[in-house]
Amino acid sequence: MEKLLQVEKLETEFTKDKHKTKILHGVNFHIHKGEVVGLVGESGSGKSITSLSIMKLFKGTSGEISGGRIQFNQEDLTSKSEGEMRKIRGKQIAMIFQEPMTSLNPVMKIGEQLLEPIRLHLGFDEKKAREHAVSILKKVGIPRAEEIMKEFPHQLSGGMRQRIMIAMAITCHPQLLIADEPTTALDVTIQAQILDLIKQLQQKEQMSVLLITHDLGVVAEMCDRVVVLYAGRVVEEANVFDLFESPKHPYTKGLIGSVPKLGQKRDKLDSIRGNVPDPNHLPQGCKFAPRCNDAMPICYQEEPPELKFDHGRTCSCWLYKEERGGIRV
């Protein structure tokens, strides 16, 4: 399969009071054309920063890409100017943000916000742009599309606002859709509707999707492959079946083990002890070692290498590195 996106040794850092803090440490993963890839991990693992790095959305912040490459359609995004990125954002790569109420402009009508990218990227005149906007709203299941165009974001429910965000994202038929926690703050019924809508659109449009979430149930339902992120590092990557059938990294095992199971009778849920480390005070060696029940002395001294397994699977853990340098599967 042809790779649409290739992230190689990506490093991103933020500066505060002349002090640089690295958030992403050599992140590697790829997305094939028409593939849905899940990016999972706890809050603070670097998921959203990864998405912002791909889009180069650091304006107004001290964030910057300090190393690595982001190849999209065989072009290096890290070398592109802000003007060049504006032509790509919305047209070739689109993004659905976590909270639509803060992502939509509260003082602009829905129609105005939908028409802006259509005019910018597709060059339609006023009439054709409006017809296209209405058709996109209908495609994402919004009733009264013509009336909704005249309303403000605060007049709509959370589920409706999220559908508006999806409509804005797909209006120019992007090749890659980045969905950053697209069901946050929505009730369970609306969550299912939004995820089903994304899946239908992905299949119909043959889009590639990077789905950022901490919900492994969503990953099992939606994704082809999964990238597990911890403390700004990829600790495991596998196809969705292999990951749930036989997780390798202790962190992945902890994430899966902490999900409640139907019919499970326990006094309390399993959990991973401790918290994701502060980026300014990372432990030596494997960053997960202080929370890991399988940690060995070497885990506290050296970072584990990325080991490759069958079916394109990778895992960064000393448990699978034998003395002679072979890989234990």
Tokens 């050296």 belong to which residue? 302
Beta strand 208-213 with 36-40 is parallel
251 pLDDT above the threshold of 70? yes
What confidence tens digit (pLDDT) does each residue in 21-73 have?
Answer: 999 999 999 999 999 999 999 999 999 999 999 999 998 889 999 999 999 99
Instruction: Identify the pLDDT of residue 265.
Output: 63
Give the pLDDT mean for 93-110.
85
User: Tokens in use for 225?
Assistant: 């492959």
Q: Give the full edge-to-edge strand order of the sheet including 36-40.
A: 93-96, 176-180, 208-213, 36-40, 225-230, 233-239, 314-315, 307-308
329 pLDDT band, cuts 50/70/90, is very low
CB of 210 closer than 8 Å to CB of 179:
yes
Every domain range in the chain assigned CATH 3.40.50.300? 3-92+175-188+202-282
215 pLDDT band, cuts 50/70/90, is confident
Give the pLDDT mean for 177-181.
93
Question: Could you tell me which CATH number the domain at 3-92+175-188+202-282 has?
Answer: 3.40.50.300
326 pLDDT above the threshold of 60? no
Least confident of 23-37, 202-216, 230-244: 202-216
Give the pLDDT mean for 186-206.
87
CA distance 306 to 26: 11
